[in-house]
Structure 1
Amino acid sequence: MVDPRYIRMFHEVVQTGSYSGAARRLGYSQPAVSQQMRALEHTVGTPLFTRAGRTMRLTEAGEVLARHAASVLHDLDAAQNQIAAIRQLRAGNLRICSFPSASATIVPAATVHIARDHPDLRIRLIEAEPPDSMETLRRGECDVALAFTYPGVAEQLDGDLVGVAVLDDPVVAVLPKGHRLAKRRSVELADLADERWIAGCTRCRDHFVQECGAVGFEPDIAFTTDDNLAVQSLVAAGTGIALMPSLVLSFLRHPKVISRRVRRLANRQVSAYALRDHHRIPATALMLETFERVGTAMR
């Protein structure tokens, strides 16, 4: 491969018509230019210049290289400018993988900050629940993943991943408005042992069953769905009750349900993750920092 520095110097020699002219324009000594041109000829394997007295002329190979040198240098300059724009966050693309309730709350709040300070940074959002979102990240199909865990089932971070805590999301009981415990400000999970339940995603359901077991009962799960609106509608219709993260209820609340804090129930922990090598990419580092800052403001 030809060193781009040789191409740039060759172009100047052609433009000025001599080694000394190129040396003056580039701020090199004439012997340095001569040495680099010999190195270029060695790389391409054929002479590029001939001399007729004091006149320097291009060989046929030199003419071929001269025709391409200007466009090569133009493309290199364009690439360097685009890389600089990405490095300085004046351009670029960022892919976020998030679970639905974070997509509706944390992501919009973060993108407001990004759009204000870096309006030309383009963001693409895809949705997946953990652990699928983490696998999406590991496969390189997104740059940052928002995921949640519960105490005792923390995300397994191998050496390739880094993460930042975003917020703790309280889990509340969702009850129909006419429920027998509706007048209480908070409840114990054991108070709900005889209820029928609507269960959510796999990770939430596993944690829910574990928490019920810890207070001495096995929940009667009548319906399972990942759709948070469907969960609330089922509760409103009297199919059962549910546990739901507060983040969901901050933007989506059925008019015929109420939420009550469940005492001594662990919060859902929301974090943002990236591949360790990608953490050095300015846009990825910015997104992690922004999610962390937004989470702090939402607490």
Structure 2
Amino acid sequence: MIDVQRLRVLRAVADHGSFSRAAAALRLTPSAVSQHVAVLERSLGAQVVTRSTRGVSLTPAGRIMVGAAESVAAELEQARQQVERLHTGRVQLTVATFTSGGRHLLPGALPRFMAAHPHTLLHVREGEPEDTLPLLRQGAVDLALAYHFDGPLPVGPGPGSSLRWTALLEDPLYAVLPEEHRLAGRESLDLAELAAEPWVLGCLKTEAYLRRYAARAGFAPDVRATTTDYFFARSLVAAGMGVSLIPSLALAPAVPGLRAVPVGPPAPSRHIGVATIDRRRDRPHVTSFIEALLEQAAPTA
């Protein structure tokens, strides 16, 4: 029989990439973590991690077991919530969201949902998709507002087949320029027209995306500033640091002295949706919240 604690240890190793960091997170010693993994490997008759000087990575068998570990954790969390519901008589729903998507969608969706389910105990957690989607798979949240660019969803380690994606809206990226810029009065522009400009970025994931689009346009962007906040990035553009590429939902609140110009095709865009777990999709409160999000997103879809 596979020990649940050893699955928990393996999941921590996958999340942190080393025995020592996993040990710190679990409040164990690195040797105890190593022993748990070794016993798990013996019980399976297969290697679950590959050890190297650069850290620890999962083998194919390890990825299967991390997926199983997340499923077990999710089932235990759901059972805990059901027991709590028996005790309190209240349903709990936890929604994860990234900042600009939550700011745009939740203020309209929350009243719709609460009008239909006034006794639900609702929690909201903020975070980027690479952080919240693993929480969804582990059962720590019930739904996750998330986005991706032209690549796959950042589902984290382990199989992602249990995730179900409901598309909500497209969020085009705009070229953000100082209002005195020579192209600021254009109705649209090609990314290649900004090839000689210095760039300011408001999200590390946007940098990789910009570089791919710039390569298609035949140039390598000269990145002068990187931030993790779109408002700060726009403030730097207004201060003359360069130009930026900003999703439309992150253009509010307005920063004086800027113009946002649409980018011509192939137009870069964020794909925004809500992720759920297949086995929890049938819960009425989850379905109702998705419907509220779809209603809120419909006018801008």
Paired residue secondary structure (2:125): strand
Q: Which runs of 5+ in 2 are unaligned?
A: 1-81
> 1:29 corresponds to which residue?
none
CA distances 1:7-39 after superposition (whole Å, capped 9, x unpaired)? xxxxxxxxxxxxxxxxxxxxxxxxxxxxxxxxx
**Number of the residue aligned with 1:258:** 259
Judge conservation of contact 2:204–2:226 (CA < 8 Å) in 1.
no
Task: Name which one, 1 or 2, has greater alpha-carbon Rg.
Answer: 1
Cα distance in 1, alignment partners of residues 268 and 235 from structure 2:
25
Say what the alpha-carbon RMSD is for the aligned residues. 2.3
Aligned to 2:125: 126
- Given candidates 189, 205, 220, the residue that maps to 2:222 is 220
Please report how far the alpha carbon of residue 246 of structure 1 lies from its aligned counterpart in structure 2 after TM superposition: 0.5
Report if the CA contact (8 A) 2:149-2:209 is conserved.
yes
Residue 172 of structure 1 corresponds to 174
Provide the C-alpha distance between the structure 2 equivalents of 1:160 and 1:236, rounded to a whole number of angstroms.
44
Q: Distance in 2 between matches of 1:224 and 1:138?
A: 30
- Cα contact 2:203–2:230 (8 A) shared by 1: no
Q: Report the secondary structure of 1:174's partner residue.
A: strand
Answering whether residue 116 of structure 2 is matched by residue 117 of structure 1, we say yes
Q: Secondary structure at the match of 2:108?
A: helix
Matched length:
216
Q: Deviations over 1:133-182 (max 9, x none)?
A: 21221222211011111224455682211110000111101111111111
Supply the distance in 1 between the matched residues of 2:214 and 2:139 (Cα, whole angstroms).
37
CA distance in 2, matches of 1:121, 1:154: 29
**Offset, 1:289:** 2.2
Provide the rounded CA distance (Å) in 1 between the counterparts of 2:160 and 2:93.
23
1:176–1:241: 8 Å Cα contact kept in structure 2? yes
The DSSP-based 3-state class of the residue aligned with 2:166 is: strand
Structure 1 residue 224: Cα displacement: 0.8
2:183 aligned to 152, 159, 181, which one?
181
After TM superposition, the score normalised by the length of structure 1 is: 0.67
Counterparts of 1:149-168 in structure 2 under 5 Å? 149-154=148-153, 158-168=160-170
Deviation at 1:275, TM superposition (A): 1.2
TM-score normalised per structure 2? 0.67
User: Does structure 2 conserve the Cα–Cα contact (< 8 Å) formed by 1:143 and 1:284?
Assistant: yes
What amino acid is aligned across from residue 117 of structure 1 in structure 2? Answer: A
- Deviation digits for residues 173-223 of structure 1 (CA, Å, limit 9, x no counterpart): 111111111111111100000111111323222111111111111111111
* 1:240 alignment partner AA: G
The 2-side partners of 1:295 and 1:214 are apart by: 31
Residue matched to 1:273: 275
SS at match of 1:186: coil
- Tell me, yes or no, if structure 1 residue 145 matches structure 2 residue 147: no
Deviation at 1:123, TM superposition (A): 1.9
CA distance in 2 between counterparts of 1:109 and 1:142 reads: 20
Contact 2:143/2:275 (8 A) holds in 1 = yes
Instruction: Return the letter of the residue paired with 1:159.
Output: S
Equivalent pairs: percent with the same residue? 31
Give the deviation of 1:257 after TM superposition: 1.0
**Is the CA contact (8 Å cut-off) linking 2:129 and 2:154 kept in structure 1?**
no
- Maintained 8 Å contact 2:142/2:276: yes
The C-alpha deviation readout for 1:71-122, integer Å capped at 9, x for no partner, is: xxxxxxxx99x66x97xxxx42211111110121111121021122222223
Cα deviation code 1:50-88 (max 9, x no counterpart): xxxxxxxxxxxxxxxxxxxxxxxxxxxxx99x66x97xx
User: Quick check: 1:273–1:288 contact (8 Å CA) kept in 2?
Assistant: no
Tell me how far apart the structure 1 counterparts of residues 129 and 213 of structure 2 sit (CA, whole Å).
19
Contact kept, 8 Å, 1:94 with 1:124, in 2: the verdict is yes
Partner in structure 2 of residue 193 of structure 1? 195
After TM superposition, list the pairs within 5 Å mapping 1:18-29 onto structure 2: none
